[in-house]
Structure 1
């Protein structure tokens, strides 16, 4: 199997900026099949860690954990370090601790509810879903214009905005009810839907992605036009904050910056002929694949990390607050096989783990179990 070569070139000051925020970044690329983190080492230089996950897409954060989706699975990575603990210069080590077999349903945005349950956008089934025992997933919500449960990507429900630990808004590339019909409306058919009411609060968007509620405002990317901005939920009007040198997807915030992934436009049946390509051509801009930090006050791109040469797209990005130099443990590596960390009993009596205490030998065992 051939693995892609991933090189990174950061603009001056990026590592210092990241260190000043007391944070690090994680992002995914499904064509490269990679989950990657960017941090700042003890010597102040930019660091990177990665693991290989086929068709790696959506990212979600929880308390001390990271969720991500691969070709047919939902993965949970847990930070196994205690606060203040380090390992080989890393202040967080994310170990794969759980995988849920969902099938090939193209999980996009992922978030955690207030009780720690992952909820995720499933474009192939036009729904929001959560994990389920003995099933691929539980369908929890569908747009009112979707008339049946079918393994057909009818509207490309891709984005999820949370509020107070509850799904609040979703984005779809079009309000269509036939398999693949959204592709005919990708330039201006995008909608934002209120989950509680089922009402459409904005329409006419160009491939909306990564809706987020932040600092009392609603933000999203219009991937089809290459724009990032805020949406007035009363009028449905979109205000452009920045125009990106590529197709924006993934959105997180740190300080006064929005962190976005930028991809080169894809020339295939689903993503060709976008207004973005016309704009870049008119302006003589060569599209890039990068992580960008957009200043919310000025709309300028203050920092960039270009990524290549075999990586052309980024799907999602998140900010790991309070973590400066994370490490990922690849689930297929020898490190994952031997990174063994059992849960320890909290008291001396707990070490029996359910065995009776009137044991006939000093090993704490007997022939019967409680």
Structure 2
């Protein structure tokens, strides 16, 4: 892998005509090559180009962190790096990502200057610079606080937690219906919505206070909780995931029904909010990010042949559809899918999706790869 210094890339216009769906070849570092085929809609890279952005997503099933972008010539580039069970992913300003993994929380930093490229292709290289060992907490969503600290959903212990210099984690909040911080996944707390640099809302599959109790409540036991008030603000959901605060609204993926929607929060005498669907996507939904009036939604296939016990199973039959794995780009004005990226083969499950603003063709480095040891960068001496 070589770093090259070049003149800033010109703002070349993307093709005006929509291209047909195309296959994508993946480049990979630090991971075993899975048996998978990648394809995308003809407009996906053009649209990312117009946004001056790229798309990152995780799959704990494959153990890969993916970066989807486009070269200066408009060709799709899919880079993937091996990570230990990658889960929650969030951008922490421009040039920094935070990732939750099987037993660690990582901060990845872009080490390239604006006029530098890796292998004449990649305009950003995200290196794992901070690696905090937490132990296996089944950490799901992750967020960056205004003070620079990291908060994450500690699913195994039913709480929100911060990283600690001494311990595996520092619990900072738990739902009122959870009686104690114990090593039992009781409610399957999973999603985190940040607002103004602090946790605002979380999702859980149920309000259960017994070990594994959530598994019997998958169809309609899901809740959204206001963190500051520690109050359930929406209930009756089916395995909700990926709450996000965007454009003054709370968005949620009601995974068990395959729906992206908003939560109309309770006001005045109204005690409970209401979920309002915006779009149906043919898959189990996890991972949500927004940009320029569009939602990037992650889809997964079932682990078994059917989504047993979930409304999604019937919805797929009613629409004569098969579930698939990938990312759909939803127009928030119409609820229509306008572009997509699809994975077929051994990989059937994604977890999180994040837009990487300011970079059109980024790559990442696995902490266990040779590149992590051989790619050396440093600041120039001052004075």
TM-score normalised by the chain length of structure 1: 0.90
Alignment of structure 1 residues 1-370 onto 2, 5 Å: 3-63=33-93, 64-87=95-118, 88-234=120-266, 235-267=272-304, 272-347=308-383
Runs of 4 or more above 6 Å deviation: none
Quote the offset at 1:268 in angstroms: 9.0
Structure 1 runs not aligned, ≥5 long: 348-370
Cα deviation, residue 343, structure 1? 4.2
Counting matched residue pairs gives: 346
Cα separation, 1, equivalents of 2:39 and 2:231: 43
CA distance in 1, matches of 2:183, 2:256: 25
- Could you tell me how far apart the structure 2 residues matched to 1:31 and 1:3 are? 13
Instruction: Find the structure with the greater CA-based Rg.
Output: 1
Instruction: Give how far 1:77 is off.
Output: 1.0
1: CA distance between counterparts of 2:263 and 2:49?
A: 31
1:307-358 CA-partner distances (Å, limit 9, x unpaired): 12111011000000111110111222211111112344322xxxxxxxxxxx
Q: Distance in 2 between matches of 1:92 and 1:56?
A: 20
Which SS does the other structure have where 2:164 is aligned? coil
Deviation of the 1:272 alpha carbon: 3.4
User: Unaligned 5+ residue runs, structure 2?
Assistant: 1-30, 267-271
For 1:119-142, what per-residue CA distance to the aligned partner results, in whole angstroms no more than 9, with x for missing partners? 100110001111101211111111
Tell me the distance in 1 between the aligned counterparts of 2:43 and 2:198. 37
Determine helix, strand or coil for the equivalent of 1:298: coil
Pairwise CA distance, 1:82: 2.6
Structure 1 equivalent of residue 269 of structure 2:
none
Shift of 1:10: 0.4
Secondary structure of 2:140's match? coil
**CA gap 1:222/1:27 in 2 versus in 1, 3 angstroms:** same
Give the Cα separation in 2 of the matches to 1:286 and 1:203.
28
* Contact residue 108 and residue 130 of structure 2 kept, 8 A: yes
- The answer to whether the 8 A contact 1:266-1:272 is kept is no
**TM-aligned CA deviation for residue 266 of structure 1:** 2.4
Distance in structure 1 (CA, Å) of the matches to 2:321 and 2:170: 44
**CA shift for structure 1 position 267:** 2.6
CA distance in 2 between counterparts of 1:316 and 1:215 reads: 20
Q: Aligned with 2:48: secondary structure? A: helix
Instruction: Kindly state the Cα deviation for residue 257 of structure 1 after the two structures are TM-superposed.
Output: 0.6
Deviation at residue 17 of structure 1 after TM alignment: 1.0
Q: CA RMSD in A?
A: 1.6
Alignment partner of 2:200: what SS? strand
Q: Which moved more, 1:222-231 or 1:94-103?
A: 94-103
